[in-house]
Chain A
Amino acid sequence: MTQSESGRTLSEAPRTDLPTAARSLRIALIGNPNTGKSTLFNALTGMRQRVGNYAGVTVERIEGRYRSESGTEVSVLDLPGAYSLSATSPDEEIALEVLLGLAPSVPVPDVVVLVVDASNLERNLFMASQVMELGLPVVIALNQVDAAEVSGLRIDAVELALTLGAQVVATVATRGTGLDVLRRAVERAPELPLPKRQFALPELVEKALAPVEQLLLQSGISPAATGMEALRMLSVNPSGHLSGIEGLSEAVTRAREEVQAGGMHARAVEAELRYGWISEVINSTVHRFGAGGRTLTDRIDAVVLHRVFGPLIFVVLMALVFQSVFTWAEPLMRVVERLVGVLADLAAGALPEGQLQSLLVDGVIAGVGSVIVFVPQIVILFTFIGILEATGYMARAAFIMDRFMRGVGLHGRSFIPMLSGYACAVPGIMATRTIDNPKDRLATIMVVPLMSCSARIPVYTLLIGSFIPATAVAGIFNLQGLTLLAMYFLGTAAALVIAGIFKKTLLRGPSHPMIMELPPYRLPDLQSLFLVVTQRAGLFLRRAGTVIFALTIVLWALATYPRVETSDLSPELAQEAQLAGSYLGRAGHLVEPVVAPLGFDWKIGVSIISSFAAREVFVATMGTIYGVGSGADETSSALRDRLINETRLDGTPAYTPLIAIALMVFYVFAMMCVSTNAIVARETGGGWTGARWAIFQFVWMFILAYSAALLVYRTGLLLGFAG
C-alpha cells in the first residue's frame, strides 16, 4: 500500500509563511477503542508521557510530546477512546469538550489526528464524520492496514483523502510504519482547508434544526461546530456543556416533532444520514479481495465463548492469574522487605542511637517499606490485566461473567477488579477503570476491599495458628484450613450482597444492559504493555506513597511519645513499657470500653489502632506488646505461646477461640489500609468528592466490622462458648 497524502495540497497556493524558527503545535489523538490509538500514541511520543486526570472527573488524561524533523515541539493529547461524539459517557463528553475548547485547562488542539481502524472502516467513520464537522484541521491515521489486508480489505487511501477532504496516512502503529509521514502531515495540516460536512441534510431536517443552531450560536458555541452539535441533539438530550442553555431542550423537542411529523424517525436521523454517506465512501474506497467468511477471531471465539469450554477456560485462566499474583509476588515482596531491612540497618548503624534514628528507621524507612512492598503485586497483576486487555480476552471475560454479575446488580467487567481484591485492594480498585458505567464502577470500588487481601493473611494465620485446633474434618479437611476458607467466603459473600444493596439504594440508576464490542484478537504490543504497567506502579507510588508516608510518621510519633524511663529494663520489656506509656498505649486504654463488648482487651485495642494504616501491622504490634520484639511474624511460636498462655487478673485465659474468631471477623470487614483509602479517594474523583467517598467507605465498613464481631462474640457466649 502506498503512503498517501492528500491530493488537495496540489491545488493550494504556495505557502509563503513556512516557519523557519522552532514553533509548537498541540495535537489530539481521537479514535474508537481498539483502533491501536494508544499504541500509535506510544509510538509517536515514546517514553515522554504524563498521566493525570481531567479536572473533576475520573477520565484519565494522557499527554506526551515529540520533536518533529523541522524542530517543531509537538505536544500530543491522547483522548479517551470513544465510538462517537454523542457524549453519552464521561469519556465521550470529555473528548467532545476538548475538541470544542470547553474542557477546563485544556486548550483547543491545533490539529486532530483521527485514528481509524482500516479493518473496520465503516464503524470508525461514524465518529470521524462527526469530528470532521468541528472546523478543526484533521489528519486521518488509517491504522492497522496490515490487519485489513489479512482479512481481505484494501483501502484506496488517495480516494479516501479526496472523499473526506483531509489528509490520510496509512500506518501500522505496532511496527512504526508511516509515523514519519504522519508527523509531516500533522505539520502541514493547519495550512490546508478545513474539512467540512460531506453530505447534505434533507430540507426538512435543515429547517427543523435552524432554531436549535441559532440558539447554540447565541450561547457561544463556536460557529464551526453548531451544525454537528445541532444534528447530534436530535438523537441525544442536551447534557454536559449544553445543559445550561436556556430553551435548548424545548427547541430540540420542537425540532424532533417537526422531523417526526415529516415522516422521519427523529432520533435515528443522524445515524441514517451518516451511515448512508459512509456506505458511499466505503463503496468507492474499499476493495474486498478475500473471501470474507469466518475470521480467525470467529474461530477462537467459537471455543472461548463456548457454552461449556468458555467458562472452563475462563476459570482456569483466572486461577492461573490469581495463583501467579500470590506465588510470584511472594519472593519479590521478600526481596523488597529484605532491602528495606538492609537500608534500616544501614541507617541505624550510621546514626547515633536516639530519637532521630528512631524516626528515620522505625518511622520513615518502615513506613516507605510498607508501601513499596505492594509494588510486586501491582506490577504482576497489571501485566496480566494488560495482556488480557491487549489480546481482546478481557471483553470475552466480561461477556462470560455478565450473567452472573448481573444477578447482584453489577456488570461483567466488575469481576476482574473483585478477583484482584483477593491479592490486594489497591490494584483491584485501580482496575475498575475498565467499567464504563460510573455507578457500577463506584459500587465495585465500595466492595472490593471486602475481598480478603493478602495483608489479612498474617492476621488470620497468627490467630488460627494459636487458637483453632488442627482437627481433621470429614477425613481430608482440617479445621484450620476450613476456618481460613470461611473468612474468604464471608468477605466474598458480603461483597456481592453489599454491591447489590448499593445498586438498589445509593447508586441506583437505570440498569445498563450489556452493549459491548468484542474486538478482534491481537498479539499484545510490548512497549504499550510496559508503559501501562509502569504508569500504574508509578501512580500508586506517588499518590498512595505520600499519604502512607505521612500517616506512618504520625503513628510512629504516637507510639514513641511521651518517652518512658526504661533504662533499667531489658530491651524487650523496655519496648513493652514504652508502648504502654505512649499516646498509642493510652489510646488503647481509652478505647477499651468500646472494644470490650467484642471480648477484646486494651492490648488488642492498641493493635487494632496501630493497624489502621495497614492490617499486617497488627501482628508486629502484638509482638511489641508481648515483649517478643517487633520482629515477630505470624508464624513466630514465641508470640503464639504468649497469646495462648496470657491470662486475665482472675486467671482465666485472656484469649479464647471465640475471641480469635470475633477478631478475624472484624478484620474481614474493617477497612484498615491507608493505601486503599488513598486510592479510593483518588479513583472516586479526587479532592473533596473522593475524600468523602473514602470516608464513607471507611465508616460503613467499620460499622459492619464492629457489628459482625459483636454478633459473633455475643452469639458465641449465648451458645455457651468460653469468652
Chain B
Amino acid sequence: MSLTWWKFRTCAPAGNTGRVSACPLAQCDSGCRAAILRMECGDGEASRLRNLGLFEGSCVTVVDRQGSLVLDVAGSRLALGPAVASEITVLPLES
C-alpha cells in the first residue's frame, strides 16, 4: 500500500493539530475513502472481515451511512453494524 501522509485529511478537526488523523470508520461520511489501520473488534469478527476483503492496509469507500454503514470493498457491497464500524480505525483519504 503506497499511501503518503500528505494525502490524508483530518476527519475530526476539533482539537487536532496533526496533519494525519485516524478516526473510527463509523464517523466517515458517505463518499469518504479510507484506509483500514486497526481492527479492534473481536478476533472472530476481524477474521470474517479480512475474509471479505476488509483488512489492515486495504482501502474502502463509504457508500451509505445511516447508523449502519454500506461499504464498497473491492467492488462488492458490505453492510456493517454501527458497533463493529466504531471498532475499526481508519485513515480517511482525500476523496
CB contacts (< 8 Å) of A699 on chain B: these are: none
CB contacts (< 8 Å) of A271 on chain B: these are: 50-51, 55-56
Asked if A516 CB lies within 8 Å of chain B CBs, one says yes
Is B77's CB under 8 angstroms from A83's CB? no
Asked if A583 CB lies within 8 Å of chain B CBs, one says no
Asked if A270 CB lies within 8 Å of chain B CBs, one says yes
CB contacts (< 8 Å) of B63 on chain A: these are: 298, 301
CA distance A403 to B53 in the complex (A): 24
CA distance A272 to B56 in the complex (A): 8
What distance in Å separates the Cβ of B55 from its nearest Cβ neighbour in chain A?
Answer: 4
What distance in Å separates the Cβ of A159 from its nearest Cβ neighbour in chain B?
Answer: 19
CB contacts (< 8 Å) of B68 on chain A: these are: 399, 402-403, 514
Is A275's CB under 8 angstroms from B79's CB? no
Q: B54-88 interface mask toward A, CB cutoff 8 Å, 1 = contact, 0 = none? A: 01111000011011101001111111110110000
Is A237's CB under 8 angstroms from B43's CB? yes
CB contacts (< 8 Å) of B78 on chain A: these are: 515-518
Is A126's CB under 8 angstroms from B76's CB? no
Asked if A541 CB lies within 8 Å of chain B CBs, one says no
What distance in Å separates the Cβ of B48 from its nearest Cβ neighbour in chain A?
Answer: 6
Q: Which of B44, B51, B53 has the most CB of A within 10 A?
A: B51
Is A515's CB under 8 angstroms from B80's CB? yes
**Which residue on A lies nearest to B84, using beta carbons?**
A513
CA distance A120 to B42 in the complex (A): 27
CB contacts (< 8 Å) of A275 on chain B: these are: 53, 55, 58
Contact-residue bracket for chain A: 35 or more
A-B contact count (CB 8 A): 111
Q: A517 touches which one: B41, B52, B64, B66 (CB < 8 A)?
A: B52
Is A267's CB under 8 angstroms from B53's CB? no
Is B48's CB under 8 angstroms from A88's CB? yes
Within 8 A of B (CB), among A56-89: 83-84, 86, 88
Is A83's CB under 8 angstroms from B75's CB? no
Is B44's CB under 8 angstroms from A88's CB? yes
Asked if A536 CB lies within 8 Å of chain B CBs, one says no
Is A518's CB under 8 angstroms from B79's CB? yes
Asked if B94 CB lies within 8 Å of chain A CBs, one says no
Q: A86 touches which one: B47, B53, B80 (CB < 8 A)?
A: B47
CA distance A275 to B53 in the complex (A): 8
CA distance A271 to B58 in the complex (A): 10
CA distance A399 to B70 in the complex (A): 10
Asked if A501 CB lies within 8 Å of chain B CBs, one says no
- Say whether, besides A268-B56, A275-B58, A399-B68, A515 and B50 are in contact (CB < 8 Å): no
CB contacts (< 8 Å) of A305 on chain B: these are: 64, 66, 70
CA distance A83 to B51 in the complex (A): 6
Asked if A528 CB lies within 8 Å of chain B CBs, one says no
Asked if A119 CB lies within 8 Å of chain B CBs, one says yes
CA distance A270 to B46 in the complex (A): 12
**Which residue on B lies nearest to A83, using beta carbons?**
B51
Asked if B49 CB lies within 8 Å of chain A CBs, one says yes
Is B55's CB under 8 angstroms from A123's CB? no
Is A126's CB under 8 angstroms from B53's CB? yes
Q: B80 touches which one: A84, A126, A272, A513 (CB < 8 A)?
A: A513
Asked if A525 CB lies within 8 Å of chain B CBs, one says no
Asked if A547 CB lies within 8 Å of chain B CBs, one says no
Within 8 A of B (CB), among A256-314: 265, 267-268, 270-272, 275, 297-298, 301-302, 305, 307
Asked if A235 CB lies within 8 Å of chain B CBs, one says yes
Q: B81 touches which one: A236, A514, A517 (CB < 8 A)?
A: A514
Is A88's CB under 8 angstroms from B47's CB? yes
CA distance A512 to B84 in the complex (A): 9
Which of B's residues lie within 8 Å of A, judged by CB?
41-53, 55-58, 63-64, 66-68, 70, 73-81, 83-84
Nearest first, the 8 A-B pairs at minimum CB distance are: A514-B81, A84-B51, A271-B50, A513-B84, A271-B55, A518-B77, A513-B81, A122-B74
Name 11 interchain pairs, CB-CB below 8 A, sorted by A.
Answer: A265-B56, A267-B47, A268-B57, A305-B70, A402-B68, A402-B81, A513-B83, A514-B79, A515-B45, A515-B84, A519-B77
